Amino acid sequence: MARRKLVAGNWKMNGSRAALAELDAVAAAAQAAPGIDVAMAVPFTLIAPAAERVPSLSIGAEDVHERDSGAHTGCVSAGMVKEAGARFTIVGHSERRADQGETSQDAWAKAAAAHRNGLQVILCCGETEAERNAGRAERVVQAQIEKSVPDNADGSWFTLAYEPRWAIGTGQTPTVEEIASIHAIARAKLRMLIGDAADEVRILYGGSVTGDNAATLLAVENVDGALVGGASLTAAKFVPIIEAAARL
Ligand code: PEP
């Protein structure tokens, strides 16, 4: 079946109210590309103003807590970001795994919490450079998927993102063969876990996607879009990625 391409940005711990002006051109490019989906994850504090400024654009969170409420000082729940205007959340990003020690089990619980609260989910997986050099990339990604994908995942709310950690923010990308291989393995693992529903789940590639390489990377089999960090911070860099996806 045909899966609509998704180009999703991730501002990480960047941005300000002034930076929201970038979203005007992103929303316009998204509207000019009705055949694909476009989304932007922003810091918690910018979700409400972003959603108010560009109501046509899918605004999301970069993380949520796995519980719906309670004594968790400094944390933000899925229901809270939904109320602020988020339509989706990223979970299991490698920077949260590295900085906050999050595990695949945590990503599973966060994905479940997001779904319970009516959010779409982009769940990240990906190996480190050492794991790839040791020939363990496939096994690491398979294990992450096995531990983090909820049993009831399907394409109506769930998206997987393959993001090799060594490609994030480095300007390095895997070869198209390496990406095709991991995405095929990821699809097969999803099929084992959720059956035919796996065919509707989008698998994004993330890691140093730019306007220059997007057309090549997005044309790889089983690559259903991109998760974009650095190049999502300005419309000048993000819009060409949207346009490349729309042309495919
Ligand atoms: C990311 O952090 O999800 C990411 C893919 O970052 P970048 O595009 O900057 O490599």
> Residue 170: phi, psi to the nearest 5?
-105, -15
- Assigned CATH topology for domain 6-233: TIM Barrel (3.20.20)
Q: Tokens for 248?
A: 């495919």
Q: Whose CA is nearest to atom 6 of ligand 1?
A: 229
Q: For 78-81, which contacts have Cβ atoms below 8 Å and span 24 or more sequence positions?
A: 78/110, 78/113, 78/114, 78/116, 78/117, 78/119, 79/117, 81/44, 81/47, 81/119
CB-CB neighbours of 34 under 10 Å: 9
User: At CA 79, angle to CA 116 and CA 100, rounded to 5?
Assistant: 90
Angle at CA 123, nearest 5°, toward 31 and 146?
145
C-alpha dist (Å) from residue 6 to 84, 103, 142, 184, 246: 22, 25, 22, 18, 10
Q: For position 187, what pLDDT does the model report?
A: 98
Token code pair at residue 85: 């205007």
In 3D, which of 164, 173, 172, 162 has the Cα closest to residue 223?
Answer: 162
2 — pLDDT class (breaks 50, 70, 90): confident
Pocket test of ligand 1: the residue of 209, 223, 238 to mutate, having most ligand atoms within 8 Å of its CB, is 209
Task: Point out the ligand 1 atom lying closest to the alpha carbon of residue 90.
Answer: 3
Residue carrying structure tokens 């999703």: 8
Rounded to the nearest 10 degrees, the angle between the axes of helix 235-247 and helix 22-31 is: 10
> What pLDDT is recorded for position 245?
98
Question: How confident is the model over 84-109, as pLDDT tens digits?
Answer: 999 999 999 999 999 999 999 999 99
CA of 168 to the centre of ligand 1 (A): 5
Contact 226/213 with Cβ under 8 angstroms?
no
Contact 127, 167 (CB under 8 A): no
pLDDT in tens, 188-228: 999 999 999 999 999 999 999 999 999 999 999 999 999 99
Distance 8 CA to ligand 1 centre (A): 10
* DSSP secondary structure code for residue 61 in this structure: E
Is residue 228 within 8 A of residue 209, CB to CB? The reply is: yes
Arithmetic mean of pLDDT, 64-91: 98
**Residues with catalytic roles:** 93, 163
Chain mean pLDDT for the chain: 98
- Cα 85 to averaged position of ligand 1 atoms, centre (Å): 23
- In this predicted structure, the answer to whether residue 1 has a pLDDT above a threshold of 80 is no
| DSSP percent split of the chain into helix, strand, coil, nearest 5 | 45, 15, 35
- 188/90 Cα distance (integer angstroms): 22
Q: Write the DSSP symbol of residue 153.
A: -
pLDDT in tens, 162-172: 999 999 999 99
